[in-house]
Amino acid sequence: MGILEKISEIEKEIARTQKNKATEYHLGLLKAKLAKYRSQLLEPSKKGGDKGEGFDVLKSGDARVALIGFPSVGKSTLLSTLTHTHSEAASYEFTTLTCIPGVIEYRGANIQLLDLPGIIEGAAQGKGRGRQVIAVARTADLVLMMLDATKPYVHRQLLEKELESVGIRLNKPKPNIYFKVKKGGGLSFNSTCQLTKIDEKMVQMILHEYKIFNAEVLFREDCTPDELIDVILANRVYLPCLYVYNKIDQISIQEVDRIARQPHSVVVSCNMKLNLDYLLEILWEYLSLIRVYTKKPGQPPDFDDGLILRKGVTVEHVCHSIHRTLAAQLKYALVWGTSTKYSPQRVGINHTVNDEDVVQLIKK
């Protein structure tokens, strides 16, 4: 019996089991088995075959965005419209067969946009080069999920399910669970809040499924068995995701309004170039990028060539992005902008900078 058959057997078993108090341990165990088989499926086979054509692209720019969607939803058209790269677009499915990179130049940042081939149902099992496509998506900072506004909502759920089954969690925070495998001493289980979805017995059963008998587990929030499995496997990727609905020129204005009000959703039309500027604004926000400008003593700030950093960075990160030896030589910094009480403010190395701040670094 192959891994795929085992997975489908367990999925059927989960589907036909009633959810109640008596079956929750059984379900928890089945979910643990399912996650175990799925992670085995993702590991490449040990047999060395001929090397195929490379699929992944070298990471470049300040951030990386992966375009994921079913065939013929307008991914290549979006890439060609937003970047200077031409990606072949035609009215038949699977026009794009490999990963095509493009660069969006926006607010001084270079954002790498990857046009990936369309995903079909069963991609997580390797159908239609699905595994390579999803492996590239795991390395991105943000997933842009392209959807056809004229098609039913079930398409979005299918795509989410495919990504979910290979360990990509969309728009979810990391579960706040402390987990550490120990040499001995059995299972030490604690929680700082009331647990309603899981208890010590179930934690023990799930850990036994992974042959872990000595561990320390601390729940800091009310989590589900699935989230505990994610923490145990420790190979999950938590990515922000934007749902981009294309072809809005083919549906009614009421429908456009309804879709646009859904969380994490943006409506666009690549053909008529509608709402693409707003898409870039939201993209910038989701990537949580900021610009920091530098200033030499006695000269105006250099507004042409800013540093592109992530939200929440400190003066130390600014030093590192200029030169790695600079942080050790820093005496203090002068900052103009919204992160200070008055401008210029003299700050230390741990001061957090905001978007469009001007920083002048003073060495010892």
pLDDT in tens, 176-218: 888 888 888 888 888 888 888 888 888 888 888 888 888 888 8
* C-alpha–C-alpha distance, residues 312 and 294, integer Å: 17
Q: Are 61 and 142 in contact (CB under 8 A)?
A: no
Does residue 57 have a pLDDT over 80? Answer: no
Out of 2.10.60.10, 3.40.50.300, 3.40.50.2300, 3.40.50.2000, which CATH number does the structure's domain 63-171+237-286 have?
3.40.50.300
**111 has which bridge partners?**
63, 104
Length of the chain: 364
Nearest to 217 by CA among 184, 188, 196, 197: 188
In the chain, where are the structural domains located? Answer: 3-43+175-233, 63-171+237-286, 291-363
Q: Are 313 and 353 in contact (CB under 8 A)?
A: yes
* C-alpha–C-alpha distance, residues 63 and 102, integer Å: 12
Q: Are 141 and 59 in contact (CB under 8 A)?
A: no
DSSP labels, 85-105: ------SSS----S-EEEEEE
Question: What pLDDT, on a 0 to 100 scale, did the predictor assign at position 92?
Answer: 58
* C-alpha–C-alpha distance, residues 101 and 166, integer Å: 23
**Percent of the chain residues topping a pLDDT of 90:** 0
* C-alpha–C-alpha distance, residues 270 and 278, integer Å: 13
Q: Which two tokens stand for residue 77?
A: 């058209």
Give the global pTM: 0.76
User: CATH number of the domain at 291-363, please?
Assistant: 3.10.20.30
Matching CATH topology for 63-171+237-286 and 291-363? no
Q: Which residues contact 1 (CB under 8 A, 6 or more apart)?
A: none
Q: Are 266 and 68 in contact (CB under 8 A)?
A: no
Higher pLDDT, 92 or 294: 294
